[in-house]
Structure formats: C-alpha cells, structure tokens
Amino acid sequence: MKFSRRAVLAHIGAAGLSAALPVRSPAQNAYADLEGRPWFFFNDEQARFVAAMVDIFIPEDEFPSASQAGVVDFIDLQLAGPYGRGEGLYLQGPFPESTLPTQGYQLPYPPAELVSRGIEEVEGGQDGIRLVDRDLAGREAFVGALSGTQQSPVAGGFFDEMLKLANWGYFADPIYDGNRDYAGWRMVGFPGAHAYYLSFVDKHNVPYPVDPKGIAHVPGEGPAEFLETRSREG
Amino acid sequence: MAARTLPKTDVVIIGGGWTGLAAAYELANNGQRCVVLERGRYRHDATYFAGPGEHDDLKYAHQYEHMMDVSTQTLTFRNTPEQTALPMRRLGSFLPGQGLGGAGIHWNGQNWRPLPQDLQMRSFYVDRYGEQFLSDDDITVQDWGVTYEELEPHLDFFERVAGIGGAAGNVGGEIREGGNPFEGPRSRDYPNPPMKQPIATTLFAQGAAQLGYNPFPIPSANLTAAYENPYGAQLHPCTYCGFCERFGCGYYAKADPIICIYDRLVGHDNFEIRFNAYVMRVDKSSDGKTATGVTYVDEDGQEVFQPADIVCMCAYSLWNVHLMLVSGLGEPYDFRNRTGTVGRNYAYQTLAAATVFFEKDILTNPFMGAGALGMAIDDFNTGNFDQGDLGFVGGGYIGSTQTNGRPIAYQPTPAGTPGFGLEWKRAVRDNYNHSGGVLLHGSSVASPSNFLDLDPTYTDVFGRPLLRMTFDFPENDRRMAAYGLERVVEIVEAMDSVVSYATVNRAGPEQNYSVVPYQTTHNTGGAVIGTDPGTSVVNRYGQMWDYHNVFVFGACLFPQNLGYNPTGPLMGLAYWTLEHMKNAYIPNPRPLMDA
Amino acid sequence: MTILIRTLIATAASAAIGLVVVAEAQNFQDAPSVQSLEARLDNDARLFGAAVDVEVDDDLLEAGRLVAMGGAENGGSGMACITCHGAQGEGDGSGAFPRLTSLPAWYMYKQLIDYASGDRPNRVMSRIASRLTEYEMEAVSAYYSVLRSPREPVIGEVDGELLQWGAQLGAVGSAERGIPACVNCHGPNGSGLAPSVPYLAGQYARYMEYQLQLWKEGVRDNDPLNVMSTIAQKMTEYDMRAVSEYYARVRAERIQDDGVAVVPE
C-alpha cells in the first residue's frame, strides 16, 4: 500500500516532524521537501486541519484512512484547479440571507474560497481547542458538531463541501492523486475504468475478483503516478 | 440589432440533440436546406468517448463535463409562488446537455412508449371516474390531442433508429408472455432482444411475479446485438461496462444522436451544423404571424441573424420554453389569473424507492451495469389499476435497475448508518456487493401552481432574464408516491434473500422538491401540445398556434409527465411532427389546424 | 538457447517420441517450479469458475504442464502445445501460432471450448481441443496464464504513418468510419482485460491481422454477440495492418528481470 507520506506526516504535527526526519534539516516548507513538490493550494496549517477532518470522515481500519489514501493531496489539487475556482458554478448576485434548503448552494464563494473561509471560521473551534490539537475523541466531537451545523452558512457549506471532497478523493480515479493504490476501489471491490462484462453479467452470484485498473493503469504495477513524489536528494 | 445577417435558409434548427438531428435528417432528405445551431461543441463517440478515459467518474458523473454550463445560463427556483426564486448555482436534480448530441449522449437509454390512456389522460379519467375526480384536486391534466394509434408508427420508427432491445407484450392485440401486457398494441416486435439480467433485477422480477404482477425487461437503447438502423448506422452490442448515465458511449453500444443520425447526415448537401452557436431569440415578422429566423451569438461572441422559412425549436425542454419567453412567442402563463400558455403545465417526475440489502451469498457485482439494464412491472402505471378509491390519477412503473457500481455515488448503506466515520466505512464495504434497488418511477400531474416564467432579478451571461421554475410535488402525486412506495415495499418483502431495506420518497410528507439531489432529467411541459389554443402552445402537429412556421419538439410538449422516461414518447412526437411538416406544411405553408 | 530448445521440441514432436523426451526438453530449460507459478496466480489470471469447479492450485498447474507437453488422459491432444506455441507460450511470428504467455486463463479456456465445438473453426486446433477433457482445458489454460516469457523483438520495419494510424485507431478509433477504439475493451495499453479480453500488446502482428480478416469475413465469430466482426467489418486492410503492426510493438508491461524472462540474443 502506497500511503501518502506527506499526509501521514501531517498528523505527526510540526513538533514530531524533526524527530521523524533526522536525516535532513527542516526546510522552509517541510512537506514540499518531503514530497518533492509544494502544496498547490493549502498552506501547512490548512493541510493539517484538512487531514484531521477527512480522517474523521474516513478513518483507518483494514483499509487506509482518507489522508493515507491521498485525499488531502486530491483536495489540494482540486481546490487549486478549475473546480476550486468555481468553474461550472453560477456566481452572479444578489445573494440573499434567507434561502431555502431546496434551493441548494447560495453562497458567493467558489469552493476554494469556501474551504479557506470555512477553516478560518471553524478552526478556533469549540472550547478554543483547535482540531489538530485534539485527541481522536476530541476530533470526532469537533467534526460531529460541524455536521448539520446551523452555526453559519459558511460553516454548513464548508462541512458539506469537505465531506463531498473527501468522498471524491477516496473513490475517484487515482489520476487525481487520491484513491492511492486503488485504496477505495479495493475496499469495495470495484474493478475500475477498464470494464467489459458481457460474458459475466448474467452469471449470478459468481465472484469477480479482478484487481482494479484505473484510467492510467500501468500493467503489472498499478496506477501511474503523474505527480510522483521524490525526495530532492534522489 | 444583429451585427450580421446571413443568407436565408429553408429551415433553421435550434439544438443538435435527438430531436434537432432527427429533424435535420428528415427535412434535409426531403429537399430542405437545414442549418442546425448547437450551443456546445463538436464531439464524437469514437474520438471523445473512448474508454478508459471516458470512464472518469469524477469528471463526467460529478463535475458534469458533458452537461450544460450553468455559469453561462441557469434557472432560478422556488417551491411556491410566494417565495423568492434563487439561482440553481450548480447542477443537481436534472442534467441538461450541451454539445453535439445534447443530453442524448448521456442518457441511460430506457426507451418507453406512452400508454394509450396517457395520451388521453383527462378523457380517460373522466370516462372512468367522472369529472369530479379531476376537479376535486385542481389539477390541469389534459389530452395530448394525438392518439396512440396515430403515434404508433413513429414510436416504432424511433425504436428502429435506436435499435431498442426488449420483449414485446402486445403485438397487434396479441398479448405475449414475458413482455409488458399493458402496453398499447404495437405493429411489430422490438428490433432487438432484451438485455441479459443480473441477479438483483432477477430477484425483483421473481418477487413481483410471485405477487401476481407481470415483470418484463426494460426496453433498452443499450444495444443487445450488432445492429444497423434504418439510416444505415451500425451499432455494436453493449458490454455492460457500467458507465452509461452521465457518460458518452465509446463502444457504439448506446444509441445516441451522433452515431444514429449525425454520422449518416454529415456531408449531405442540405445539412450544415454550426457549433458554439448560442441562440438568443427567435425573431418575429412585423405582422406577428410568422418567425423570420433566429439570432444567435457565434463562437467569436458576435450576434448573427440567420433568416429561415421555418424554425424548429429543438432545444432541451426548459430552454425551448425560455426561448419562447425571451422572444415574446406566445402568451406567457400568468399564475394569478390562470391566463396564457407559455410556461404552463410544467411537470417533472415523482420518485420513491427502496434500497434492498441481500444476504451475503448474493453477489450483485453492481459494476456490471447498463443504463437500461433492469426489469419492471407496469401494473401500477396510469390507468392500469383501479384508482377509484385511491384518490389520485397517474402512476408509474416499478422497476429494478442495475446501472452502475461507481463507488463515489454507489454506496448503499442500511437505514440508520451514519454519514461518515468507521461505521459508515464498514457499511459501505459490507453492502457494496450485496445490494439492489426497487424504484417507483412515477408520473407528475400538471398543477396551476407549477410553472415556468422569467425571473425578475437574475440574468444569464448574455443579459437575458433567467428562466424561473416554480415547482413542488402536487398532493395528487404525493398520494401516488405513498401508494406506489407501499407496492414497492410489498414486492421487496416478497423477494428472496432480502435481509433489510431502506426507503426514500422524494415526494414524502414534509418533503419539498429540491434542486439539489439528482432525480431525473425529465423536465416536461411549458409549451404543451393540444387542440385548444387556450390550453396549449402548439397544435396537435407540434406547430405553434401563433406562428405557423415555428415547430416545437421535445418534452416541453407533454401536457403532464408520464410514469415513463420521456425519450421514446418525445421522439415519437418528433417523427409525427416531421411527417406532417413534410407532407402537409412544406407543400403548402399554413396553420395546420384552425385556432 | 531459445532456438536450440525449439529445435529440440520440434524434433521430439515430429519423431513422435512422446512425453518423456518432451518433458526433458522442458526440464532442460529450467522452467519455473509449479510452486513459483502458483504464486503468480493473481486474480486476473484465474478461471472465474469457467466450468469445472476446482481450485486453481499446483495440482491444476501440474496437470496443465502435462497437457502442454502433450500428455493427457485421452491419449492427449496428440500434439504438445509447446510444439507450436513454445515451452513458454511464446508462439512465433508466422501468424498461425499466437503468443499464449500470460493470456487470461478464462479466455484461453473459452477458445479451447470453441475450437472443440467448432465455434472457432481451425482444423488443427479443433482436433487438438476435442481430445481434451474440460479439466485439461482448464488446466492448460491456467498453466499458460501464469507463464512469463520475453517478448520477441518485432522484426521488420514498417512505415511510420502506418504505425501512427494504428496507434490512433487503438486509442480513439475513427469517427468517420464508426470504429470504436481498441482500448475500450482490450485493457490498459492493449495489455488485455482479464478474464475475457486478450491482450494485443506484444502479440504477433501477422496473427492479429489474420484474425481481424477472419472476424471480418465472419469465419471467426466466437466472441460474445459478435462484437469483433461488427468492428472488423468497418476496417480496411490498411486499418487492420496498422493496428496489428502497432500493437505488436507495444510493450505494455515494463520489462522486469524476474529470473524467468530473459530477452534472447
């Protein structure tokens, strides 16, 4: 299983970082140095927050957690790109205060801005203890309290957006840098993008245990890594 | 004023989807020079939809790459006329298309015929239960003005164009085992055999049969054999790849307007299609009796006027109505006074369903799917059962489909499962390969308070007012959905190997229609067909009452929505209209019916 | 060395010396142990309950190896598979003997069934397959599915435009002629999509071109619902040569020296 090293390390926190990396002096952007590329959208603080949050959504069990499966990297890329900029979103005003739930999203922010604002708004958090400084139970309580929150439209929109992005990142094709090593697909048994079932659809209750294959599958290996992460020392 | 006026053409066609390309094919081959204006880009099954690149769940199913761009044009929405409508800022409940083939490239391929009584809905219920039955509830259902017998040859022809696979239930009045015994008599069988069925839909069919119902395979435009259509298009058998709805088909295995029609038309001397041509309005003559052509914005952002003798409105149902409203064609519907017709009788689809959880030895392999793969019963569709004591009109088919197992959205979890966390994760994994579904695909009656008009506040990027949709499920349909869901549950309980089930009713009590969760891309009405200009926008030939050289196509014609997917009926209507254009109108242009 | 072995095998077969000598030839090449083959039996190579409900284990592979070398219950196929398809399933470039190495087991099993029934007509293979039991068909299919052998270098130069057209047909098909892309069904880079779709990458050009002609003429029609005939009928001779020459040159898998696959001199 190829975990996202960077996201795993995000959990260690800044304090643990130097201990985890005895061989190198801390660079200006520790994560960039670890993975051979910088974050595209997040700063380190935001990345830690997101890693903590998505791992409450999708925790580790026999299968990887969201951050282990690259979901933080996925979200970072999505928010840095056209999706984050609000492509395909109608953003003309006015934006009234009072809206109906049946009318859907009514904030003036594209997803990237919604996430930045959302983190900023909720991070100070309940009881003044930040999400990343809490233990597991504390993190669950923090995220649980955001679920269905009426705290503010931004907080509610942010929660919905993060849950959607985490789900996308865990199950989308690995070309988007999540679903590492087909973690999400292996979990459910989804064979992926290469699909031909004409001879099997009417064979009832027969297992179909193929290995997943994504759009950019390298035969005999697994998903191609377009953003392959190498240390600078390599 | 338009910056540039082009040479006149015989026919200008707004929209390059199923109806627009069918119109272009039939009229170009009838000797008319046709110009099709498509607001989206060129694309093609072979070169644009080839797997595995096309099998990108995120890009196509969740980021709507093939669908219309709402940042250019959207609509505003509210549930009731007292509320303030707000823009649908991203796609959700329905997914209109954009680009060659329109929504016809990302449909599922479930292709139905209307029931004979569907087309005479008001007279059918009045005959059966009396006038009071309809007026009690203030619903504005009406007859289509065209009968099943009249449409049959055209429904049949489209089944051949799209190579539909199915099992006939009624051929010339002879009821056939294994088909839908309730369907109207068909002149001949489907062109292709039905699809193979997986375990989940088979268990449904067995359960339904045990209760005495009549299960049959859903008629499918996912091809079940190598096939050549009447235009000479060669289609290939479906591979059950599970990337149908929201995707184009690179296998040539899902009938769509590109491979079925466009490929056989492109290069014809009478055919021209312009891409990235966004139609702004239909232009009217000074005497207000005819249209003179259409004005569009071309790919360079320039306004262009395309004069034409005939205008065919073949945009998606909602945008046909929008174009009429912004062009001042016909009289807009006024909710308060109940006058006017354009925007009146907007309807949708009423869905209620059960997700079914099977015992662990049932392996559903949900990723082996196809858009129209499934079994259905029609025992509870409009007029197929006694509704005298039930207090509602309409109905729907109840079916079980297996369309896909794409795991971003295919996450069946039992009732009470949390929305995230360890327990959710475990439930997703445990149930992925052991679940199915049973769905009531219900009709939608027309009601005076459900309508389309122009929004007073919001505009599209061209500065035109947005279309405003006012819609909630009428009480009639709530009763229908509640009754239908009870039947769904009875069938689920009769099915073998079921451990538990979870139900959802989009039209349940306290549930208002929402534009957020996907339901169906079956928006109907707003420019309805009929024989009375007081209650319809077009006459029974699809010709506008007020502008005899404007012909209207698509689901906007439906006076109320059927308990079926709309493509089959709307294509039947399209070929009916085209026949009358070719044989009656073009030789002698005039109103085909007296107002 | 490869050439020497092939000569030995050919000699053995033509002299009808039989199993022992052929087996010696096999041993001579230091074939991988059945245990090491079994380790390669990943999900994709499996039989998917093709017909006989047996575990895919070393017994089955052992039986498969026996069939491959010409020994079987009913007096065997009368001819060892390795005679023509090679000890490692490497086949040859004649067009008649495809590469079998690591083809999906289910696919090979189905071909044997179809040869035996005449659904895939071929005088030689039909006679061979009809003398195999179902168990033997499964066994020999499983066996070849886990073999690995080096790709033969593609001999002969072809026009660059031809290759380019082949690559284009493979990746995106042809909108003009209604030809769907090969990659729709044939797996990543044409590397096959187990269990039912064979690889194209690294298969012999002349074999693929010949098969396309058979599909086009309707002589071969043993795939489900005759998909390939429908496609081949839309292809010209040039198209067929183009995709065949292209895919023969594709190396879908990165070459890995796992001690078995040795590129011959």
Largest CA distance in chain B: 72
Interface contacts A/C by beta carbons within 8 Å = 49
CB contact under 8 A, C253 and A220: yes
Nearest to B89 by CA among A94, A227, A121: A94
ipTM of the complex: 0.95
CB contact under 8 A, B259 and C180: no
pLDDT at A23: 34
Beta-carbon neighbour count of residue C258 at 10 Å? 11
Tokens of A22: 């005895």
How remote is the C-alpha of C228 from its chain's centroid? Answer: 17
SS3 category, B544: strand
Which chain C residues touch B233 with a CB distance below 8 Å? 178
Which chain B residues touch C225 with a CB distance below 8 Å? 224-226, 237
CB contact under 8 A, B242 and A206: no
Bridge partners, B75 (sequence order): B467
CB contact under 8 A, C185 and B263: no
Nearest to B97 by CA among B265, B271, B247, B284: B247
A63 touches chain B (CB under 8 A): yes
CB contact under 8 A, B252 and C224: no
Render the burial of B320-359: b for 16+ CB within 10 Å, e for the rest: bbbbbbbbebbbbbebeeeebbbbbbbbbbbbbbbbbbbe
- DSSP class of residue C101 equals T
Is residue A228, in this structure, part of any structural domain at all? Answer: no
pLDDT at A36: 52
Tokens of A193: 């993008």
Tell me which of C102, C146, C193, C203 to substitute to probe the interface with A (most A C-beta atoms closer than 10 Å).
C193
In angstroms, what separates the C-alpha of B407 from chain C's closest C-alpha? 20
Does A1 have pLDDT greater than 50? no
Average pLDDT of the residues in A104-128: 92
Angle at B275 between CA B269 and CA B278, to 5 degrees: 125
Task: List the end-to-end C-alpha distance of chain C, in Å, as a whole number.
Answer: 9
Q: Please provide residue B587's backbone torsions phi and psi, each rounded to the nearest 5 degrees.
A: -65, -25
In the predicted model, what is the mean pLDDT of chain A? 84
Tokens of B410: 């295919």
pLDDT at A27: 34
Cross-chain CB nearest to A209 (options C43, C189, C224): C43
CB contact under 8 A, C234 and B234: yes
CB contact under 8 A, B239 and C185: yes
Q: Say how far apart CA C243 and CA C249 lie, in whole Å.
A: 10
Interface contacts B/C by beta carbons within 8 Å = 66
B79 touches chain A (CB under 8 A): yes
Judged by average pLDDT, the poorest of A169-173, B371-375, C50-54, C126-130 is C50-54
Tell me which of B241, B252, B363, B367 to substitute to probe the interface with C (most C C-beta atoms closer than 10 Å).
B252
B87 touches chain C (CB under 8 A): no
Burial class of residue B504 in the structure, from the number of CB atoms within 10 Å of its CB (0-12 exposed, 13-18 middle, 19+ buried): middle
Beta-carbon neighbour count of residue C85 at 10 Å? 19
Which helix (H) or strand (E) covers residue C191, if one does?
Answer: none
Q: What is the dihedral of CA B79, B80, B81, B82, to 10 degrees?
A: -110
CB contact under 8 A, A195 and B196: no
The region that residue A131 occupies, defined by phi over 0 for left and psi between -120 and 50 for alpha, beta otherwise, is alpha
CB contact under 8 A, A220 and C49: no
Domain of A97 in residue numbering reads as: 5-223
Which chain A residues touch C171 with a CB distance below 8 Å? none
List the catalytic residue out of B106, B441, B522, B580: B522
Query: Contact, B399 vs A38, CB < 8 A?
Result: no
Q: pLDDT higher for A130 or C45?
A: A130
B193 touches chain C (CB under 8 A): no
Is residue A232, in this structure, part of any structural domain at all? Answer: no
Query: Contact, A156 vs A164, CB < 8 A?
Result: no
Confidence of residue C76 (pLDDT cuts 50, 70, 90): low
Is residue A199, in this structure, part of any structural domain at all? Answer: yes
Task: Find where tokens 């079980």 sit.
Answer: B400
A226 touches chain B (CB under 8 A): no
CB contact under 8 A, C175 and B263: yes
pLDDT at C43: 73
Does C162 have pLDDT greater than 60? yes
B363 touches chain C (CB under 8 A): no
Q: Please provide residue B319's backbone torsions phi and psi, each rounded to the nearest 5 degrees.
A: -80, -25
CB contact under 8 A, C226 and B226: yes
pLDDT at A7: 56
Answer yes or no: B441 catalytic: no
In angstroms, what separates the C-alpha of B49 from chain C's closest C-alpha? 8
What are the structural domains of chain C? 2-146 (1.10.760.10), 160-249 (1.10.760.10)
Cross-chain CB nearest to A197 (options B240, B419, B421): B240
Parallel, antiparallel, or unpaired: how do β-strands B396-401 and B216-217 relate?
Answer: unpaired
Tokens of C225: 């619902």
Q: Report the neighbours of A using a cutoff of 3 or more CB pairs below 8 angstroms.
A: B, C
Tell me which of C41, C44, C247 to substitute to probe the interface with A (most A C-beta atoms closer than 10 Å).
C44
In angstroms, what separates the C-alpha of C53 from chain A's closest C-alpha? 12
Does C4 have pLDDT greater than 60? no
SS3 category, B419: coil
User: How would you write chain A as a 3-class SS string?
Assistant: CCCCHHHHHHHHHHHHHHHHCCCCCCCCCHHHHHHCCCCCCCCHHHHHHHHHHHHHHCCCCCCCCCCCCCHHHHHHHHHHCHHHHCCCCCCCCCCCCCCCHHHCCCCCCCHHHHHHHHHHHHHCCHHHCCHHHCCHHHHHHHHHHHCCCCCCHHHHHHHHHHHHHHHHHHHCCHHHCCCHHHHHHHHHCCCECCCCCCCCCCCCCCCCCCCCECCCEECCCEECCCCCCCCCCC
Average pLDDT of the residues in C250-264: 51
pLDDT at C87: 87
Q: What is the sign of the dihedral through the CA atoms of A193, C40, B433 and B496? A: positive
Is residue A122, in this structure, part of any structural domain at all? Answer: yes
Cross-chain CB nearest to C194 (options A206, A210, A216): A210
pLDDT at B145: 98
Which helix (H) or strand (E) covers residue B11, if one does?
Answer: strand B9-14
A153 touches chain B (CB under 8 A): no
B242 touches chain C (CB under 8 A): no
Tell me which of B368, B431, B458 to substitute to probe the interface with A (most A C-beta atoms closer than 10 Å).
B368
Nearest to B515 by CA among A105, A96, A156, A102: A102
Query: Contact, B303 vs B61, CB < 8 A?
Result: no
What are the structural domains of chain B? 4-585 (3.50.50.60)
C227 touches chain B (CB under 8 A): yes
Domain count, chain A: 1
pLDDT by position in tens, chain B (length 595): 557 999 999 999 999 999 999 999 999 999 999 999 999 999 999 999 998 999 999 999 999 999 999 999 999 999 999 999 999 999 999 999 999 999 999 999 999 999 999 999 999 999 999 988 888 778 999 999 999 999 999 999 999 999 999 999 999 999 999 999 999 999 999 999 999 999 999 999 999 999 999 999 999 999 999 999 999 999 999 999 999 999 999 999 999 999 999 999 999 999 999 999 999 999 999 988 999 999 999 999 999 999 999 999 999 999 999 999 999 999 999 999 999 999 999 999 999 999 999 999 999 999 999 999 999 999 999 999 999 999 999 999 999 999 999 999 999 999 999 999 999 999 999 999 999 999 999 999 999 999 999 999 999 999 999 999 999 999 999 999 999 999 999 999 999 999 999 999 999 998 999 999 999 999 999 999 999 999 999 999 999 999 999 999 999 999 999 999 999 999 999 999 999 999 999 999 999 998 7
Which chain B residues touch A91 with a CB distance below 8 Å? 71, 89
Q: Say how far apart CA C133 and CA C73 lie, in whole Å.
A: 8
Confidence of residue C33 (pLDDT cuts 50, 70, 90): confident
Residues 270-329 of B with CB under 8 A from A: none
B87 touches chain A (CB under 8 A): yes
Does C119 have pLDDT greater than 80? yes
CB contact under 8 A, A193 and B516: no
